[in-house]
Amino acid sequence: MKSVEERLTDLEGSNRRYRTLSLVLALGGLVLFAMGQAGSNVKIVQAENLQVVDAQGKPRAALGCLGDGSVVLTLVDRNGDVRATLGVAADGHPSLFFNDSGAKLRLLLGVGPDQRPGLAFLDPTEATRLHLGITTDYRPHVSVLDERARTRVSLGSFQDRSMGMDLFDEKGKVRASLALSSDNTQGLVLSDQNESPRGGIIMDSEGNAKLALFDKTGKLLHSAP
């Protein structure tokens, strides 16, 4: 989880640098199209920065190279707000950003230096509210965050093909855990503010269930059957 958040944070930082890029035209696609149409006689246009404007002369797209070696394509709406940015960082990892009408980052897609993809959905304050990604051993993972970007729900799979979901309180403590093992055993654990298990229920693949209650020291108070 931490590595996913760090990767997305790095991508968010890259997006803010892209916004400061002067608006210059994106003619790369046009050049490739012309090359395909004209064959071997095509002349290649080379430039560090390219710009496209609309009928009123307003910049609408920009393609350029930054001083750190990254390359950025930026698309702008009629009001001059950046709405989409495609970039490749100096270390080679790509990222794609979508902004709302107020130029606030709302959707981020990227592949980090560790070669793992990540997708983030952000609210109007640019706080990440949903993460979709994969772990270091390439297992899928989903995180739901609150308005302060604190993880409240974590859902993922494990190497043994089991699935698990944790629910967190505002202090980051796990208060409930739900799991389904690879042999179809199901389990639910409820924990207190110290993450100490206080109650749980388990059901095996044949439907046999057991309930257990514990005190705050972990002592068994009741079990059934």
Query: In this predicted structure, what is the pLDDT of residue 47?
Result: 83
Burial (CB count within 10 angstroms: exposed 0-12, middle 13-18, buried 19+), residue 92: exposed
188 within a domain of the structure (yes/no): yes
The total number of structural domains that make up the chain: 1
3-state secondary structure of 85: strand
Tell which phi-psi region holds residue 14, choosing left (phi > 0), alpha (psi between -120 and 50) or beta.
Answer: alpha
30 Cβ neighbours under 8 A, 6+ residues apart:
none
Q: What percent of the chain has pLDDT over 90?
A: 70
Nearest to 126 by CA among 151, 100, 150, 152: 100
Nearest to 27 by CA among 83, 65, 78, 73: 73
Query: C-alpha distances in angstroms, 201 versus 96, 164, 189, 219, 223?
Result: 44, 15, 7, 16, 9
Can you give the residue range of the structural domain that contains 213?
158-225
Query: In this predicted structure, what is the pLDDT of residue 114?
Result: 86
**pTM > 0.85:** no
Query: In this predicted structure, what is the pLDDT of residue 48?
Result: 84
Euclidean distance between the first and final Cα of the chain, in Å?
A: 38
56 within a domain of the structure (yes/no): no
175 within a domain of the structure (yes/no): yes
Residues listed for the chain: 225
Q: For the chain, which ranges sit under pLDDT 70?
A: 1-42
114 within a domain of the structure (yes/no): no
Query: C-alpha distances in angstroms, 35 versus 39, 71, 116?
Result: 6, 21, 34
Query: In this predicted structure, what is the pLDDT of residue 4?
Result: 39
CATH assignment at residue 216? 3.90.930.1
Gap between the Cα atoms of 187 and 205, Å rounded: 11
216 within a domain of the structure (yes/no): yes
Burial (CB count within 10 angstroms: exposed 0-12, middle 13-18, buried 19+), residue 91: exposed
Query: In this predicted structure, what is the pLDDT of residue 34?
Result: 47
Gap between the Cα atoms of 177 and 153, Å rounded: 10
Query: In this predicted structure, what is the pLDDT of residue 36?
Result: 54
- The radius of gyration computed from the CA coordinates of the chain, to the nearest angstrom, equals 25
Nearest to 18 by CA among 91, 77, 57, 67: 67
* 8 A C-beta contact, residue 138 and residue 132: no
Query: In this predicted structure, what is the pLDDT of residue 137?
Result: 87
Query: In this predicted structure, what is the pLDDT of residue 130?
Result: 97
215 within a domain of the structure (yes/no): yes
Nearest to 60 by CA among 26, 29, 88, 34: 26
181 within a domain of the structure (yes/no): yes
Q: Are strands 174-180 and 163-168 parallel, antiparallel or unpaired?
A: antiparallel
Query: In this predicted structure, what is the pLDDT of residue 178?
Result: 97
219 within a domain of the structure (yes/no): yes
